[in-house]
Amino acid sequence: MASTPAAPAVAPSLVDTLFQRSLNDLVKSLRADPSAAGEAVAVARALSEIHREIRAPDAATKSVALQKLTYLSSLHFAPVGTHLLAFPAIELLASPHLPHKRLAYLAASLSLHPASLSLLPLATHQLHKDLSPSSAGAAHQQHLSALALQLLASPAAAAAPDLPVHLAHDLVPHLARGSPRAIAAAARVIAASPSAAVPVLFKPLAACLASPDPRASTAAAAAFCDLSAPPADATPFLPLAPDLYNLLTTSRSNWALIKVLKVFARLAPLEPRLAARIVDPVCQLLTRSSAMSLTFECIRTVLTALPAHDAAVRLAIGKAKEFVAADDDPNLRYLGLLALGLLGPAYASTVNDCRDAIVKSLGDADTNIRQEALHLIMGMVNENNIMDIAGMLISHVAKSDPEFANDILGAVLAACGHNVYEMVVDFDWYVSLLADMARTLLCAQGDEIGRQLVDVGLRVRDARPELVRSARTLLIDPALLGNHFLFPVLSAAAWVSGEYVDLTKDPVELVEALLQPRTSLLPISVRAVYIHAVFKVITWCFSVYVGRLGDSGMAVDVMFDRLAADQTVGSESNVALVSGEEQDIGASTVRKDPFSHESILYMINLIQTTVGPLINCNEVEVQERALNLIGFVHLVREIQELNKRNVADGDKPSRLEELVKTMQTVFCQELGPVSVNAQMKVATPDGLILNENLVELAGIVSEDDTTPSTSIFFYPCSRHSADTRDELAVSIDSSSLSEHRKRHGLFYLQTGKTEDEPNDYPQANDSLPSSSNNSVNDDKLKTAELVFAGKKSTATKSRPKVVKLDTEDFLSSMMPSANVPKEDPLSGALRDVLLGSDAKALSSQRASDINLEGMLNKTSSNESSSQQIENLGSHPASRSSSRTSKQQNHDKEKGTNPPESDGKEPRKHRSSGRSGHRQGKHKHREKSSTQPDTIPQAPVIQDFLL
Amino acid sequence: MINFVLLISRQGKVRLTKWYSPYTQKERTKVIRELSGLILTRGPKLCNFVEWRGYKVVYRRYASLYFCMCIDADDNELEVLEIIHHFVEILDRYFGSVCELDLIFNFHKAYYILDEILIAGELQESSKKNVARLIAAQAC
């Protein structure tokens, strides 16, 4: 306090310099009003004062003004123009008065930065003068040069391009003297402009390393440490190794040793012999030194630069473990964990030895320590211990704060999901772990969990029963519906339950869970998934039901009549409201047999009561799914009613059977890829010749190659609609071909329109699947047509509105986004296995075609969908490719929704991968495109898009 | 090397800043805002290092003042902790049991002392005696 400079004693001529406030006054005025507003006012007032004062001709006034300005700009971040501060600072540099000069240097070093470099040349001469020996006393001169060197070492001065050129020679005598400031300044100057400074300064700087003065050698070691730091190349400093080695073995300064060790850590990888030389001294330091900073530097040097010296590494690991075990010092614990984290996988077992201490650190109060511990533990994970570790970590989640809990969950998800679940052996375990993670209190990783649930379902057949079980537990818990972090998980669970409904034990319970009242809390996208899952479940139940009726030979009429009894309610214009009494009966009887007449009836009624109101929902996604579902239910009943009135009895059951079968076909094809590992476990089906050449197929389809499937691309909306229309005008054959192309869009996206598909896929020149489909499934066309004609009446209302609705995200969240990148390893593996290394360009295409062929053969021979699923399990390539292309179709079509496909898009996506259903669908689409009620809507859509 | 030195009071007021790497005024305010949020909230029994934007900030609290130094990721944290302590000891010796007010009213002195200890982000003078002698010589 006492030594603060008072206001200048010399009275300047101006009045305001007479009453100039000193820095002390300024600080006091700033502190008088501690509020932010008061401070701002005080700063503004002081600034306006300073602006006047700093132009004063006398140095004293100017220096005080400069001092105040420095204070304001460095501590209060006052908006001071850099010139305002820098210019008077440079003016004052020339002052003969040392305190003024010092203030000026301080202001300059604080204010000069690359933006104000234009002023620096003005100071060059002054710096030169201050650096050169003068007539003044030695002590005075030393102060002056110290100030000048200080400025030279500041970042701004070092960034000035011409300073090194002018002042490098002035530095040399100071370097020769061994001044630490000169050494630091020289290092900065060399770093700033190597070409100009290195010839002059490098040798004297290197000489300082050998200086007997420990200050000089320490400063030189620090300077070379800075200069060799990445991203700079350390190679030019290799010749300094002898001097550095000398310093390493003789210096008694820990500061210097740390810097020397750092330089060696950078040099050792460049020169193998160096490592052998330094390993002994480093180990000696490691064992002898009592300074923790030096010990840690030794550990780090050994672990990063001397990994080949096993004894040294073990010594370092031992020390690091001591650090980790330091209970009283969190710093050492943190650094110990950090050091262990530097170890490569070669020492994983050694790290494993102190697993207990690391696990203990997971509960540390310090986030850094916990993070490092987590990082280390995740580094130890392998497929043998992943169950232990993941279980242990999940148990830690409950004890952690929310942020770290999610870090843990994220780390476990990332580790388990790494490289297509390569570490997970027991998928049942993993699936239940995923469900457990979702249920942990603080879980905010819903997106990733949901993605993995679906992904595992798609990729790993064996996990599906457990997946369905886990999904059930998630779905039936009404408490989870309130947690918005879990919506993606619930969406995935609903999708899984619908997709693998044949593994469900109790479909009635599932339908109840999917339609429970609290589902109204779900966002639109998830609700749509729920309703669609109900659709799949009810379709499957019907198929089992009908199948069973057929098996038992029971009089189908009876059952239909009973169905019809209820149907009167449903076919009325109002929503079906079943009497409470009946529903009670249903609820109690259905438990026994989910496929009994009662349970089917119960489910239909439940659907009508809960989904029925949603057909008036504002959200088109939900509305459309609801309409689909209700349309299906109505259809079942309409057939019945029709039968009752006109048609002969024998037709009745078969029509329902046809309907159910058709719907079943819609959902029968299994989707998505399986993991590479799972593929290995699946045996090749009999009769599938993998190496058969499919070249002859080219002839069958070659004529269609000239019409690329532009309908996949919907970017230019006007063109796209025209294209689609054109395409629809083509014969059934070619439209099914283009369907096929859509499914395999990956292989057709050659024309540069794609954004992210790899270009190495061959041009496809065959499409056996679709052509073979035609003959196989001709008999199904009628049914399909009928179904959709019937359905249309209920389901084609609001579709045009979907145009701009951004519903992609729920689908993309449902469908694993990782599918596309994962194609490559999969197809690559396939390529290698199936075809060897030659014919690489064609192989992936062929592989998928071969698989498709097998798949379609099965389709034609087996009517039952469950058998298809059996076989599909072995065709990951075909499935995955169709899946991804479908996804693409979806994304693109969603965006611009062509008028022709009005109201039918979702079903088209779903069925575009189907074999038997496609053509019926197309017929229908052709029809609907000619219908007067959809065409007029086209202009509306165009507007919307524009 | 040390990229910058910050002294922040417990209330978040900045008492001293020294930048050894180029930062614009805008970046400086941003850095200080971020770091005071990060450091002032940390409890007493945690370690003295904070990872921040690929750098490490070594801090230590003395009474109501946090001394923070930002270093590169591969610098030695413990060494910097010692530098901080070294700086504080010299301040203490110079001001005679230093307190925050000393630094508020003598901010330029604190700069001069820091400049004797650190140059270009590296420690220059490890002897407290030498620093005291040099500062005393300047005062004349």
Supply the pLDDT for residue A657: 72
For A125, the token pair is: 């001469």
Nearest CA in chain A to B11: A34
Contacts of A778 (CB under 8 A, 6+ apart): none
Q: Is A849 on the interface with B (CB under 8 A)?
A: no
A585 or A240, higher pLDDT: A240
Chain-chain contact of A226 with B107 (C-beta, under 8 angstroms): no
Q: Is A264 on the interface with B (CB under 8 A)?
A: no
In percent, the amount of chain A with pLDDT more than 70 equals 59
* Mean pLDDT lowest among A191-200, A435-444, A796-805: A796-805
A344 or A153, higher pLDDT: A153
Decide if pLDDT at A706 tops 60: no
DSSP state of A915: S
Mean pLDDT of A755-775: 39
The tens digit of pLDDT for each residue in A79-117 reads: 666 566 667 777 777 777 777 888 888 877 776 666 656
Decide if pLDDT at A23 tops 60: yes
Chain-chain contact of A155 with B19 (C-beta, under 8 angstroms): yes
Q: If you count residue pairs, one on A and one on B, with CB atoms under 8 Å apart, how many are there? A: 157
Average pLDDT score, chain A: 67
Chain-chain contact of B78 with A143 (C-beta, under 8 angstroms): no
Decide if pLDDT at A587 tops 50: no
A150, A327, A337, best to mutate vs chain B, most B CBs in 10 Å: A150
Supply the pLDDT for residue A679: 61
Q: Is A702 on the interface with B (CB under 8 A)?
A: no
Chain-chain contact of A184 with B119 (C-beta, under 8 angstroms): yes
Please state, as a whole number, how many other Cβ atoms lie within 10 Å of the Cβ of residue A682.
14
- Cβ A150 vs Cβ A181: under 8 Å: yes
Supply the pLDDT for residue A143: 77
Residues of B in contact with A74 (CB under 8 A): 16-17, 107
d(Cα A892, Cα A94) in Å, to the nearest integer? 71
Decide if pLDDT at A385 tops 50: yes
Please state, as a whole number, how many other Cβ atoms lie within 10 Å of the Cβ of residue A644.
14
Supply the pLDDT for residue B74: 84
Supply the pLDDT for residue A77: 66
Residues of A in contact with B126 (CB under 8 A): 215, 218, 253, 255
Chain-chain contact of B78 with A293 (C-beta, under 8 angstroms): yes
Q: Is A187 on the interface with B (CB under 8 A)?
A: yes
For residue A15, how far is the Cα from the chain centroid?
A: 66
Chain-chain contact of B126 with A253 (C-beta, under 8 angstroms): yes
Residues of A in contact with B138 (CB under 8 A): 98, 102, 143
A358 or A745, higher pLDDT: A358
Question: Exposed e or buried b for every residue in A539-561, given b needs 16+ CB within 10 A?
Answer: bbbbbbbbbebeeeeeebeebbe
Q: Is B41 on the interface with A (CB under 8 A)?
A: no
In percent, the amount of chain A with pLDDT more than 90 equals 0
- Reading chain B (140 residues) residue by residue, the pLDDT tens digits are 888 898 998 888 888 888 888 887 788 888 888 888 888 888 887 888 888 888 989 999 888 889 999 998 888 888 899 899 999 998 888 888 888 888 888 888 888 888 888 888 888 877 888 888 888 777 65
* Mean pLDDT lowest among A491-500, A549-558, A611-620, A673-682: A549-558
* Residue spans of beta strands (DSSP E) within A353-464: none
A143 or B112, higher pLDDT: B112
Of A3, A105, A213, A116, nearest to B119 by C-alpha is A105
What is the residue whose two structure tokens read 């499914």? Answer: A743
Residues of A in contact with B81 (CB under 8 A): 293, 331
Chain-chain contact of A258 with B77 (C-beta, under 8 angstroms): no
Report the number of distinct structural domains present in chain B: 1
Supply the pLDDT for residue B58: 92
Chain-chain contact of A153 with B107 (C-beta, under 8 angstroms): no
Decide if pLDDT at A848 tops 70: no
For chain B, positions 62-121, list CB contacts with chain A under 8 A. 72, 74, 76-79, 81-82, 101-102, 104-109, 111-112, 115, 119-121
A730 or A630, higher pLDDT: A630
* Mean pLDDT lowest among A129-138, A522-531, A594-603, A752-761: A752-761
Mean pLDDT of A890-906: 41
Mean pLDDT of A132-148: 73
d(Cα A347, Cα A350) in Å, to the nearest integer? 5
Best-predicted range by mean pLDDT among A119-123, A280-284, A748-752? A280-284
Where residue A715 falls among pLDDT bands split at 50, 70, 90? Answer: very low
Phi, psi of A284 (to 5 degrees): -60, -45
Chain-chain contact of A150 with B22 (C-beta, under 8 angstroms): no
A113, A289, A296, best to mutate vs chain B, most B CBs in 10 Å: A113
Decide if pLDDT at A896 tops 80: no
- Angle, alpha carbons A751-A754-A760 (nearest 5°): 70
What is the residue whose two structure tokens read 């979806």? Answer: A890
The amino acid sitting at B123 is L
Chain-chain contact of A106 with B78 (C-beta, under 8 angstroms): no
Residues of B in contact with A23 (CB under 8 A): 105, 108
A604 or A122, higher pLDDT: A604
Chain-chain contact of A180 with B45 (C-beta, under 8 angstroms): no
User: Which one of A4, A180, A333 has the shortest CB-CB distance to B124?
Assistant: A180
* Mean pLDDT lowest among A158-162, A511-515, B52-56: A158-162
Chain-chain contact of A368 with B104 (C-beta, under 8 angstroms): no
Decide if pLDDT at A815 tops 50: no
A400 or A691, higher pLDDT: A400
**Containing H/E element for B5?**
strand B2-9
Decide if pLDDT at A558 tops 80: no
Give the end-to-end CA distance of chain A in Å, rounded to a whole number. 72
Q: Is A301 on the interface with B (CB under 8 A)?
A: no
- Cβ A497 vs Cβ A435: under 8 Å: no
Chain-chain contact of A218 with B126 (C-beta, under 8 angstroms): yes
From B35's Cα to the closest Cα of chain A, the distance in A is: 15
From B62's Cα to the closest Cα of chain A, the distance in A is: 17
Q: What is the CATH number of the domain that holds B86?
A: 3.30.450.60
Supply the pLDDT for residue B29: 84
Residues of B in contact with A218 (CB under 8 A): 123, 126
Backbone dihedral region of A134: left (phi > 0), alpha (psi from -120 to 50 degrees) or beta?
beta
Supply the pLDDT for residue A83: 62
A860, HSE (Cβ side, Cα atoms, 13 Å):
15
User: Which one of A23, A218, A330 has the shortest CB-CB distance to B47?
Assistant: A330
* Mean pLDDT lowest among A54-63, A426-435, A773-782: A773-782
What is the residue whose two structure tokens read 């450091």? Answer: B39
Chain-chain contact of B24 with A115 (C-beta, under 8 angstroms): yes
For A464, the token pair is: 């599906």
Decide if pLDDT at A643 tops 80: no
Best-predicted range by mean pLDDT among A137-146, A254-263, A830-839? A254-263
* Mean pLDDT lowest among A57-71, A477-491, A854-868: A854-868
- Cβ B114 vs Cβ B18: under 8 Å: yes
**Containing H/E element for B118?**
strand B118-119
Chain-chain contact of B138 with A143 (C-beta, under 8 angstroms): yes
For chain B, positions 3-22, list CB contacts with chain A under 8 A. 14-22
Best-predicted range by mean pLDDT among A49-53, A819-823, A878-882? A49-53
Residue B26 lies in domain: 2-138
Where residue A608 falls among pLDDT bands split at 50, 70, 90? Answer: confident
User: Which one of B25, B72, B122 has the shortest CB-CB distance to A184?
Assistant: B122
Supply the pLDDT for residue B70: 92
Q: Is A720 on the interface with B (CB under 8 A)?
A: no
Where residue A652 falls among pLDDT bands split at 50, 70, 90? Answer: low
Mean pLDDT of A657-672: 70
DSSP codes of every residue in A308-372: T-HHHHHHHHHHHHHHHT-SS-HHHHHHHHHHHHHS-GGGHHHHHHTHHHHHHHTT-S-HHHHHH
Of A145, A140, A53, nearest to A98 by C-alpha is A140
Mean pLDDT of A567-572: 40
From B89's Cα to the closest Cα of chain A, the distance in A is: 17
